[in-house]
């Protein structure tokens, strides 16, 4: 499917700011443009942005109910009551449980954690989990990354003499649970200034408030920041404001002094001998943590993250790694079957949404399958399989700009349960409602999706010449990290590139393209995955345009800047002026 290239154009006011910043900071306009694109309008703001500070974190006491939460927790600790730390089975939930448990276990031994079974209990607070808390003598449950809609479950716990403190980041319903405290910055009555914390982030703010109340140093809280960075990266929350600060320092601590559990996870992922990035958290560590909850139990991931013995940690890490291998097998099988089902549907190519169901798919991989199908058809997608009894359960994923949660909400009378946010959701229904749901969901998407949302868009930050890629320019890019939602890695466009010396096919089957190109202002090398078939036209002198990220490439202890090409297109003209010899210098 062809990408739409969309180039950001600054307004006249932004262009004035770009020129002013370039002069004030003694940088190029291309460099200043990177800053203005991120809302930076002064040298002071630029310096603060490129040097994130933990001192800029908001006071946790700004969050509604935080005083109540700290008071109830201190009472529990002083009375030596038993605490259950309860969290969801995904990365956000398991890291949240690990973070809060780690802090509280230094204050009491009367503590346990609980991760619900994905398949027998489902998402969020379960009656079974409350029953276990009662059996174990717990008088307080701290719910993390879940609970904001658990009105009936909290009432059930209250009747059993168990209090709840809810730490959640999902959108609240019309009625809040009657808990001792409900910590959620998305409450309409919550004045907390930053609204995009992860579930683990809310737990972090709770522990920050506890340490402040104790007048204790924050060192032990900074020690668990790698857990929060994993949560922020994997839960796809905006990498802005507090999230960016916390992810920055979480990555820094992970690279300098990872815990025993995280060190073992890095080792089995094969990335223990280099600097860890947000990309590693999203694609290397996150899937392994998630695989525990998908294939067996999220509790295994918590045990790994809390491990303080190297031998035990390594054993846990290898278990988690094996679950991820198992997950990949199911993932491939589900994707192949789903594509086959869709290809048998004569109306498939006319639809605005994908809704597909099969009884035998593993529930742990249907969310991944939905994401894979978007890569093929690029439209809002729901993949469903059998749950308990006559219930079928599914995962939904969306395309850029389309609110899939609202689309599902429009069908709520056909559902037994649903939850989620703008781009991802979970849902369940009686099997007899599947056909009606599929029809109504398709109708809603067809009526509300825009033409622009039907095609993948490459958001290009700016068009540059290769001569713009100086050391200063690249250093500013590195200081904008960590990248993620709302702070994307800058994507550049350079036009009329031509072969310089050794552009060629690489890979086992020649499926990739190793570029060595120039735009007649400078030269650069790069890699374009799955573009090997473009080698011959480029070798024959055809000019082309390329969209790319810039990343460091270290070889034989020498680091150069290279293009990571996301898309390229041959130009309509093949005129290729002679390349000046000076353009042959490789950029360092």
The domain that holds 88 is classified in CATH as: 3.90.1640.30
**Residue 578 predicted with pLDDT over 80:** no
Looking at the domain assignment, is residue 126 inside a domain? yes
**Residue 572 predicted with pLDDT over 90:** no
Measured distance CA(499)–CA(501) in Å, rounded? 6
| Residue 585 pLDDT | 34
Helices 225-234 & 91-104 angle (0-180, nearest 10): 160
| Residue 573 pLDDT | 56
**Residue 588 predicted with pLDDT over 50:** no
**pTM tops 0.75, yes or no:** yes
End-to-end CA distance of the chain: 35
CA atoms within 13 A on the CB side of 388: 7
Q: Are residues 418 and 518 in the same domain?
A: no
In contact, 209 and 68? CB cutoff 8 Å: no
In contact, 324 and 288? CB cutoff 8 Å: yes
Question: Residue 511 maps to which CATH number?
Answer: 2.40.50.460
Q: Are residues 202 and 179 in the same domain?
A: yes
Measured distance CA(306)–CA(99) in Å, rounded? 9
Which domain does 168 fall in, by range?
60-219
Range in 132-141, 241-250, 349-358, 552-561 with the lowest mean pLDDT: 552-561
Q: Are residues 213 and 93 in the same domain?
A: yes
| Residue 412 pLDDT | 94
Last residue in a domain, options 198, 219, 240:
219
Segment 280-299, tens digit of pLDDT: 999 999 999 999 988 888 99
Segment 149-172, tens digit of pLDDT: 999 999 999 999 999 999 999 989
Q: Are residues 423 and 471 in the same domain?
A: no
In contact, 134 and 159? CB cutoff 8 Å: no
Measured distance CA(517)–CA(498) in Å, rounded? 5
Question: Residue 395 maps to which CATH number?
Answer: 3.10.310.30
Q: Are residues 463 and 450 in the same domain?
A: no
Q: According to DSSP H, which parts of 124-192 are helical?
A: 127-135, 151-159
Looking at the domain assignment, is residue 535 inside a domain? yes
**Residue 583 predicted with pLDDT over 50:** no
**Chain-wide mean pLDDT for the chain?**
93
Tell me how crowded residue 35 is: count the other CB atoms within 10 A of its CB: 25
pLDDT > 70: percent of the chain: 97
Q: Are residues 520 and 579 in the same domain?
A: yes
Looking at the domain assignment, is residue 243 inside a domain? no
Beta pairing partners, 5: 458
Q: Are strands 492-499 and 512-518 parallel, antiparallel or unpaired?
A: antiparallel
Q: Are residues 419 and 478 in the same domain?
A: no
Last residue in a domain, options 219, 247, 275:
219
| Residue 173 pLDDT | 86
* DSSP-derived 3-state class of residue 93: helix
Enumerate residues 6+ apart whose C-beta is below 8 A from 66: 60, 181, 183, 205, 206, 209
| Residue 555 pLDDT | 80
- Work out the average pLDDT over 499-505: 94
Looking at the domain assignment, is residue 26 inside a domain? no
- Work out the average pLDDT over 117-129: 88
**Residue 81 predicted with pLDDT over 70:** yes
Segment 322-369, tens digit of pLDDT: 999 988 899 899 999 999 999 999 999 999 999 999 998 998 899 999
Identify which of 79, 69, 199, 71 has the alpha carbon closest to the alpha carbon of residue 138. 79
Question: How do the residues of the chain divide into helix, strand and coil, expressed in percent and rounded to 5?
Answer: 45, 20, 35
| Residue 577 pLDDT | 42
Give the pair of three-digit tokens for residue 39: 């809302």
Q: Are residues 414 and 435 in the same domain?
A: yes
Q: Are residues 66 and 214 in the same domain?
A: yes
Q: Are residues 446 and 497 in the same domain?
A: no
Range in 197-201, 219-223, 364-368 with the lowest mean pLDDT: 364-368
Segment 404-432, tens digit of pLDDT: 999 999 999 999 988 777 888 899 999 99
**Residue 579 predicted with pLDDT over 50:** no
Looking at the domain assignment, is residue 248 inside a domain? no
Last residue in a domain, options 404, 433, 454:
454
Give the count of domains, the chain: 3
| Residue 260 pLDDT | 96
Confidence band, pLDDT 50/70/90 cuts, at residue 123: confident
Q: Are residues 90 and 202 in the same domain?
A: yes
Residue 490 sits at φ, ψ, to 5 deg, of: -60, 130
Longest dimension (CA), the chain: 82
Looking at the domain assignment, is residue 88 inside a domain? yes
| Residue 420 pLDDT | 76
Looking at the domain assignment, is residue 3 inside a domain? no
Confidence band, pLDDT 50/70/90 cuts, at residue 581: very low
Q: Are residues 180 and 194 in the same domain?
A: yes
Looking at the domain assignment, is residue 527 inside a domain? yes
- The residue behind tokens 């449980």 is 97
């Amino acid at each position: 499917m062809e990408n739409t290239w969309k180039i950001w154009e600054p307004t006249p006011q932004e262009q004035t700011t770009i020129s002013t910043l370039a002069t004030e900071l003694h940088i190029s306009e291309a460099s200043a443009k990177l800053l203005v694109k991120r809302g930076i309008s002064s040298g002071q703001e630029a310096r603060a942005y490129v040097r994130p500070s933990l001192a800029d974190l908001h006071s946790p006491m700004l969050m509604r109910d935080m005083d109540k939460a700290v008071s109830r927790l201190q009472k529990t600790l002083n009375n030596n009551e038993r605490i259950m730390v309860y969290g969801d089975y995904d990365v956000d939930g398991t890291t949240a449980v690990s973070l809060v448990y780690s802090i509280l276990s230094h204050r009491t031994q009367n503590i346990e954690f609980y991760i619900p079974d994905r398949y027998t209990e489902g998402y969020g607070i379960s009656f079974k989990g409350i029953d276990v808390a009662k059996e174990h003598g717990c008088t307080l449950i701290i719910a993390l990354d879940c609970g904001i809609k658990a009105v009936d479950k909290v009432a059930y716990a209250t009747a059993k003499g168990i209090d709840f403190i809810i730490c959640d980041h999902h959108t609240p319903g019309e009625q809040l649970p009657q808990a001792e405290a409900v910590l959620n910055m998305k409450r309409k009555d919550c004045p907390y200034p930053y609204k995009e914390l992860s579930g683990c982030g809310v737990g972090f703010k709770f522990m920050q408030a506890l340490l402040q109340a104790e007048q204790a140093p924050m060192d032990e809280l900074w020690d668990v920041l790698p857990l929060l960075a994993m949560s922020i990266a994997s839960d796809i929350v905006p990498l802005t404001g507090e999230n960016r600060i916390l992810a920055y320092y979480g990555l820094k601590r992970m690279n300098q002094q990872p815990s025993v559990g995280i060190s073992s996870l890095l080792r089995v992922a094969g990335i223990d001998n280099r600097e860890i990035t947000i990309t590693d958290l999203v694609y290397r560590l996150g899937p392994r943590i998630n695989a525990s909850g998908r294939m067996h139990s999220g509790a295994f991931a918590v045990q790994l993250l809390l491990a303080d013995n190297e031998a035990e940690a390594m054993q846990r890490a290898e278990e988690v790694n094996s679950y991820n291998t198992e997950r990949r097998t199911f993932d491939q099988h589900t994707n192949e079957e789903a594509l086959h089902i869709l290809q048998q549907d004569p109306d498939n190519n006319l639809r605005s949404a994908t809704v597909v169901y099969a009884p035998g798919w593993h529930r742990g991989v249907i969310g991944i399958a939905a994401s894979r199908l978007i890569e093929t058809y690029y439209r809002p997608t729901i993949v469903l399989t059998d749950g308990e009894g006559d219930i079928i359960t599914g995962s939904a994923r969306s395309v850029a700009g389309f609110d899939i949660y609202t689309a599902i909400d429009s069908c709520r009378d056909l559902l037994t349960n649903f939850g989620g946010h703008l781009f991802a959701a979970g849902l369940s229904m009686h099997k007899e409602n599947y056909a009606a749901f599929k029809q109504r969901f398709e109708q809603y998407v067809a009526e509300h999706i825009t033409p622009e949302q039907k095609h993948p868009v490459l958001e290009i930050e700016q068009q540059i010449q290769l001569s713009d890629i100086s050391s200063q320019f690249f250093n500013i890019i590195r200081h904008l990290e960590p990248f993620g939602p709302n702070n994307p890695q800058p994507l550049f466009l350079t036009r009329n590139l031509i072969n310089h010396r050794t552009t060629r096919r690489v890979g086992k089957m020649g499926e990739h393209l190793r570029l060595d190109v120039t735009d007649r202002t400078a030269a650069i090398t790069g890699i374009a995955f799955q573009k090997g078939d473009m080698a011959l036209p480029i070798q024959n002198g055809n000019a082309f345009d390329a969209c790319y990220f810039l990343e460091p490439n270290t070889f034989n202890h020498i680091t150069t800047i290279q293009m990571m090409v996301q898309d390229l297109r041959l130009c309509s003209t093949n005129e290729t002026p002679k390349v000046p010899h000076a353009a042959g210098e490789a950029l360092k």
